Every structure is written in structure tokens, then in C-alpha cells.
Amino acid sequence: MAPNSDILPGRYADIETIGAGGMGEIYRATDEELGRSVAVKVLSERFARDDALRGRFKREALAAARLSGVPNIVTIFDVGEHGSRPFIVMEYLAGGSLESRLGDGGVEPSEAVAWLEDAAAALDAAHEAGIVHRDVKPGNLLLDDRGRVHVADFGIASAAGMDSFTKTGTVLGTAGYLSPEQAKGERATAASDRYALAIVAFELLTGRRPFAAGSATAEAAAHIHAPIPSVHEANPALPHELDAVFDRALAKEPGARYGSAAELVADLRHALHDAAGATGVLRPPTAATMRLPTRRPGWLFPALAVVAALALAGIAVAVLTTRDSGNSGAPPTTVVQTVTGQGSTVERTVTTAPAPAPTTTGASSQSGSALNDAGYAKMGAGDYNGALPLLEQAVAKLDGTGQTTEAYAKYNLAYTRYALGRCDGVLDLLASSESIQGKRKEIDRLRKRAQKTCGG
């Protein structure tokens, strides 16, 4: 049933209900004066008569408005009152929430980490402003049309310098994501938000919450008393290295947790990357292609580590490529293999002519992250010609986002171009990837080879 059109001021039309929370209802509407879709949160009628709750709702609006304009935080456009009911007007994000993206087995780690990095940036910015969210959960992490996360509903946030929103012993938040101190009825801090973000991370990676129980009361108690479960046991496809990250992120004592949300997510990313590097299967290059180790899609490949592995086997490999001559296809690649056996040395030189590069007609409807994963899969299969257009589209879509997925896509594109004997943009792509994720030995190795072959 459509909501009463009198619920909002006359400038808002086409009103429809899109959700409800503990304190009010949420509507999507069209702001006819500014010609844009907005989301409007209205204090529930049963609470509007309570002066204390009305004051709390207004403080919520003040706390959220202080963060408007911060990247990855939902923007507040207006705060007002209509029909004796306070309301907050916010930007409308059409991508839905992370709650709607959760499946039984979680999501791809590359996508999960990209979303978590967005949320971490928002929470760290809020904490620097003295604001604690207090209800971090997938339902409050909203996606825009580019697949970027924005943190919404600082609805039970507490702002530094203001009176507490709660009385002693009152628990606010959602049981599945409560920190141990919140579950005890103690005041939430920035460390509580980081704990909740770690719960979200566990759920994204495994498809379930770490302390899930038969009732909200039992789950809240588990946060206080239950041991931290193994993420690897919850999802055997994930590496053991993640367990140490969650042991710290979900520590019972706030002071033992990560000092920032960004540090937490960075350790998740590094654990996934390092584990993939340690367990990857190295395949030697053939005359036709330089193959990659088998790894989880979307994660940065440790470029040219295959050379070191081959050296241990007594095989030296040199890849000589020609400069790009402006052709749409890739130039021939010459591979010189020197094999030393007992009492003899054999040198073989093979020149290959790669297939013409495919043409791309129109931009893909896939996200940049999905395109990067698809391109990486083709790299892993040795199909660099097939990977090239996918990675070029991925870079175009991710360029300027500052996400680590952008760094991975740019590295993968640089590696693919180099593997095809092309020099165009390789060094620039590596520099951009490094500017996002910092110094990495894989980038240094590929840069040195590209400089030697391509100049610059």
C-alpha cells in the first residue's frame, strides 16, 4: 500500500516505502524543486510524541549532517519537521545494500575487500570527526551505481561533546554485529565500529556471522564469551592466514583491536595476497605464452616470480620483446630457452606470432571488479589476447576510484601488455598501481624488465 502523500512536505512526490528501522520509516521520493530522487527517513509516529526521542532523532540528524560531503558517507540534504514528525532527507543510492548481496557462501574476496575499504574510509573519517556509528552492518552499507559503498544511517551514533544517547545498561545496535562492550551495555567507541566491520568482513567472506545463534540474546552473549571461530573452517576455500587477522579484529578487549578500520582491511588484503603467493602453482613459460600461477581471481599476481622458480630447476629464460609499432595486434615474441643437462647444454630459440588482438565493441555492463576478475582468469589460462580488452575496460571503469581493485587491474593490464610484447602505457600503469597500494616487489620487478626492454 502506498504511503500517505501527506507524510512529507509538498515538494516531495512519488513517495514509496523502501524500508523501516527501529526509529522510523524510510521512503524514496522525488524532490520536485531540485529534480532528483532522495531517500527520506521519518521518525515513527509512536516516538514523535516522546520529547526525549525527538531530541535524540534531531541529534542523529546533526551528527550525520556533520559528515555530509565526506566520501563514502551518505550525504544529508535537509533536516526538518512535518506534521509534528522530524525527517531527514538523504541521497538515494539505487544499488541496494550489501545485505542483499550476501549469499550462502559469501562473495568473491576481491569484491569483499573493495567494499570493506570503502566502508573503512568512511568510518575512519567519522571517527576523526568524533562520531561513532554504533550500528555498522550490511544493511547500512549502500552501493551506488558504480559499485562503491557508502555508509548510511548514523541513526544511533553518538557525537563527541554531546550527551550520551543511552542510559546505562541500554543496548543499541543489531545483535549480530554488537561489540562485546556494547553487548554488556557499555558505551560504544570507535573500536566498537571496527569490531562490527570485522563481523561484516567475516560474513562477506563466509556467508555467515561468526557468532550466529538461535536468538538475538544468545548471539549477543556469544560476542562476550564465545571463542573467535576460524574463518578458514567456516569457508575452507579461504587461507589460514586470515585467522590471525580476525583474532585481532574481534578481540574481546577494545584496546587489543586494530587502531583504524583501514589497517584492518589492509591486513585482510595482505593475508589473502600473501597466502595466494605461497600456495600458487608456478608453471614455466612455453614457446607460446608466459603462464601465470593459479590464484584467486582479482588478486595481484607476483609478476615474474616464475623466473626464479625456473632458475632453481636449471633453466634460464629470457623474454625479448619488440617495441610497439602502432599495430592493433601484438608483435612476435622471441623466447630463448637454455637447458643445462648432464654433460651437455642445448639452446633453443622459438619465435611465435600471437593471434590478432580482438576488437571491442562497446563497453561491458559488468563492473570494473568483475571485468578485472574475468581478465585475470584469461591471464591464468595464458590467453593474453582475450584478457587485454577486458582489463582495458576494467581500468577505464575503475580509474580514479582509488580502490585497491583499481591497482590490481592496472598491474594486470601492464603485465598483459608486456606479455604481448607491447610497451604502451606499461610504466605509467605500474606507477599508478604503486601510488594506490604502495611499494611492492612485483611491481619493481616488472618495471625493471619493462625499462630494460622498452626504455624509459
Question: Is 198 within 8 Å of 205 (Cβ atoms)?
Answer: no
Q: Give 75: exposed, middle or buried? Use CB within 10 Å, 0-12, 13-18, 19+.
A: middle
Residues of the chain with CATH 3.30.200.20: 5-91
pLDDT band at 156 (very low <50, low <70, confident <90, very high): low
The set of catalytic residues is: 135
pLDDT band at 309 (very low <50, low <70, confident <90, very high): very low
Distance CA 70, CA 72 (A): 6
Terminal-residue alpha carbon distance, the chain: 66
Phi-psi region of 107 (alpha: psi -120 to 50; beta: other; left: phi over 0): beta
Instruction: Decide which of 63 and 259 is more confident.
Output: 259
The winner for highest mean pLDDT among 48-52, 225-229, 326-330, 401-405 is 225-229
Handedness of CA 181, 186, 190, 193 (dihedral sign): positive
In 3D space, the residue among 65, 115, 111 whose CA is nearest the CA of residue 91 turns out to be 65
Which pLDDT value is given to residue 113? Answer: 94
Question: Is 293 within 8 Å of 282 (Cβ atoms)?
Answer: yes
Lowest-confidence segment of 310-314, 334-338, 410-414, 441-445 by average pLDDT: 310-314
Which pLDDT value is given to residue 6? Answer: 81
CA distances from 431 to 275, 408, 443, 444 (A): 25, 12, 8, 10
pTM for this prediction: 0.61
Residue 3 pLDDT greater than 60, yes or no: yes
Lowest-confidence segment of 26-30, 241-245, 300-304, 328-332 by average pLDDT: 300-304
- For residue 454, the SS3 value is helix
Q: Give 12: exposed, middle or buried? Use CB within 10 Å, 0-12, 13-18, 19+.
A: buried
Instruction: Decide which of 63 and 309 is more confident.
Output: 63
Residues of the chain with CATH 1.10.510.10: 98-276
Give the pLDDT confidence of 33-52 residue by residue, as tens digits. 989 999 998 888 888 888 88
What value does the mean pLDDT of the chain take? 77
Lowest-confidence segment of 23-27, 95-99, 284-288 by average pLDDT: 284-288
For the beta carbon of residue 353, count every other beta carbon within 10 angstroms: 11
pLDDT band at 388 (very low <50, low <70, confident <90, very high): very high
Distance CA 375, CA 231 (A): 28
What is the amino acid identity at position 262?
Answer: A
Strand duo 149-151 + 36-43: pairing: unpaired
Which pLDDT value is given to residue 238? Answer: 92
What is the amino acid identity at position 49?
Answer: R
Cα 208 to the chain's mean position, in Å? 18
Q: What is the arithmetic mean of pLDDT over 132-144?
A: 91
Domain 98-276 has what CATH class? mainly alpha
In 3D space, the residue among 177, 194, 172 whose CA is nearest the CA of residue 253 turns out to be 194
Indicate the CATH number of 5-91 among 3.40.640.10, 3.30.200.20, 3.90.25.10, 3.40.30.10: 3.30.200.20
Which pLDDT value is given to residue 240? Answer: 92
What is the amino acid identity at position 316?
Answer: A
Q: Which residues contact 375 (CB under 8 A, 6 or more apart)?
A: 387, 388, 390, 391, 394, 409, 412, 413, 416
Give the pLDDT confidence of 367-382 residue by residue, as tens digits. 888 888 888 888 877 7
Which pLDDT value is given to residue 138? Answer: 93
DSSP 69-131: TSTTBPPEEEEEEETTEEEEEEE--TT-BGGGG--TT---HHHHHHHHHHHHHHHHHHHHTTE
Distance CA 104, CA 405 (A): 24
Domain 305-350+368-454 has what CATH class? mainly alpha
Q: What is the arithmetic mean of pLDDT over 395-420?
A: 89
Residues of the chain with CATH 1.25.40.10: 305-350+368-454
Instruction: Decide which of 62 and 30 is more confident.
Output: 30
Give the pLDDT confidence of 248-297 residue by residue, as tens digits. 999 999 999 999 999 999 999 999 987 765 433 323 333 333 333 333 33
Any idea which residue has 545494500 for its cell?
97
Sheet holding 315-321, edge to edge: 315-321, 333-341, 344-352
Question: Is 200 within 8 Å of 138 (Cβ atoms)?
Answer: yes
